[in-house]
Copies of this chain bind each other. A is one copy, B any other.
Amino acid sequence: MIIALDAMGGDFAPTSAIEGGIMAARKFDDSTIVLIGESSVIESHLSSLEDRPKNIQIIHASEVIEMGEHPALALRQKPQSSIAIGFNMLAAGDINAFCSAGNTGAMLVGALLSVKAIKGVQRPAIAGYVPKPDGTAGIMLDAGANAELKAEHLVQFAELGYIYAQSVMEIPNPTVGLMNLGEEEGKGSAILQSVYQSLKTHPFINFIGNLEGRDVFTSKADVIITDGLVGNVILKLAESVYELLMTGNTPLDSFFTKLNYELHGGSPIVGINGNVVIGHGRSTPLAIKNMVAQCRRMIRADVNQKISKAIESMANPPQN
């Protein structure tokens, strides 16, 4: 499998991205790692290695989309940027996955403009990784791609999340919960109440009802459904807890160690015709390597094909 990595993406790019790419290439010798970026910089970094991995390729990109740039504008104005080139390669089928720790908005817009949403998927979502104290992990959709959602979008997130958890995370019949401000049916906004009713009678979702904030880090639900604001707040709050614990030199048990974003590397965009993972802006080489590992799991699971089939069969249910 061929996995392309934006060598220019992230706060510590290109060094951190290139070093993470090298770590990934060494670890996954059945894969080709394509580093997209300023070729002279990448080449000089690789040349300095005693043992240069053979499974690294370089694709030159003369432009860089910076972290603060307006996503759509930047993609239009910088067709030679590493992100624009990555998505062109993904859409052309030259690579099996593309990942970057760069501008999140540009990654989202780039995905929607190039490989596009899967037919029938109204709003692709970012899936955030949620570690659990029992050692398992779940995901949360949406972790920040969508600020404004209708009930039907949230219901579809449940479908996307269920299939993702089943195929990529290999959870046989994932439990799905709806984040709300109380457990009881009938709690929350009109939108959340409507989502609750749709999921309760859903043909395949294993819906367990409403969740509260205290349930995020429990084994109650494998898939947490929420809007982009709540999901984003939860992920960033959890990350800050990890950092506060580290700052305080608190000895961490195995659960709190897993709040370290470096260990899971990145968040996939779910619901598009391609494997795309967005990394944390502050990605270290370890985080970059794990972002590549995340791409590998998505490629292996063929998750987008599975989502496509599920959405299609829901739109055209089999006749008796």
CA distance A268 to B7 in the complex (A): 50
- A232 to B: closest C-beta gap in Å: 4
Given contacts A189-B147, A217-B244, contact A234 B237 (CB under 8 A): yes
A214: chain B residues within 8 A (beta carbon): 236-237, 239-240, 243
A109: chain B residues within 8 A (beta carbon): none
A236: chain B residues within 8 A (beta carbon): 212-214
CA distance A192 to B147 in the complex (A): 9
Contact check, B213 vs A235: say whether CB atoms are below 8 A apart: yes
Contact check, A229 vs B230: say whether CB atoms are below 8 A apart: yes
CA distance A26 to B81 in the complex (A): 69
CA distance A66 to B91 in the complex (A): 58
A256: chain B residues within 8 A (beta carbon): 244-245, 248, 250
Residue of B nearest to A231 (CB): B181
Contact with B along A114-154 (1 / 0, CB 8 A): 00000000000000000001000000000010011000000
CA distance A144 to B182 in the complex (A): 9
Q: Is A180 an interface residue (CB 8 A)?
A: yes
A212: chain B residues within 8 A (beta carbon): 232-233, 236
Given contacts A233-B233, A233-B234, contact A217 B241 (CB under 8 A): yes
Q: Is A179 an interface residue (CB 8 A)?
A: yes
Contact check, A181 vs B217: say whether CB atoms are below 8 A apart: no
A243: chain B residues within 8 A (beta carbon): 214
CA distance A299 to B70 in the complex (A): 49
Q: Is A216 an interface residue (CB 8 A)?
A: yes
CA distance A218 to B228 in the complex (A): 22
Contact with B along A249-260 (1 / 0, CB 8 A): 011110110000
Contact check, B133 vs A244: say whether CB atoms are below 8 A apart: yes
- A294 to B: closest C-beta gap in Å: 21
Contact check, B248 vs A180: say whether CB atoms are below 8 A apart: no
- A113 to B: closest C-beta gap in Å: 20
Residue of B nearest to A68 (CB): B184
Given contacts A147-B187, A253-B250, contact A233 B192 (CB under 8 A): no
Q: Is A188 an interface residue (CB 8 A)?
A: yes
What are some 19 contacts across the A-B interface (CB < 8 A)? A68-B184, A147-B181, A147-B187, A147-B192, A148-B189, A188-B229, A213-B233, A213-B236, A213-B237, A214-B239, A215-B240, A217-B244, A233-B233, A237-B238, A244-B256, A248-B253, A248-B255, A250-B250, A250-B253
Residues of A within 8 A of B (CB): 68, 133, 144, 147-148, 179-182, 184, 187-190, 192, 212-218, 228-230, 232-241, 243-245, 247-248, 250-253, 255-256
Interface contacts beyond A181-B228, A214-B236: sample of 13 additional A-B pairs, CB < 8 Å, sorted by A: A133-B247, A180-B229, A181-B233, A189-B229, A192-B229, A212-B232, A213-B233, A213-B239, A214-B240, A217-B241, A233-B233, A234-B237, A245-B250
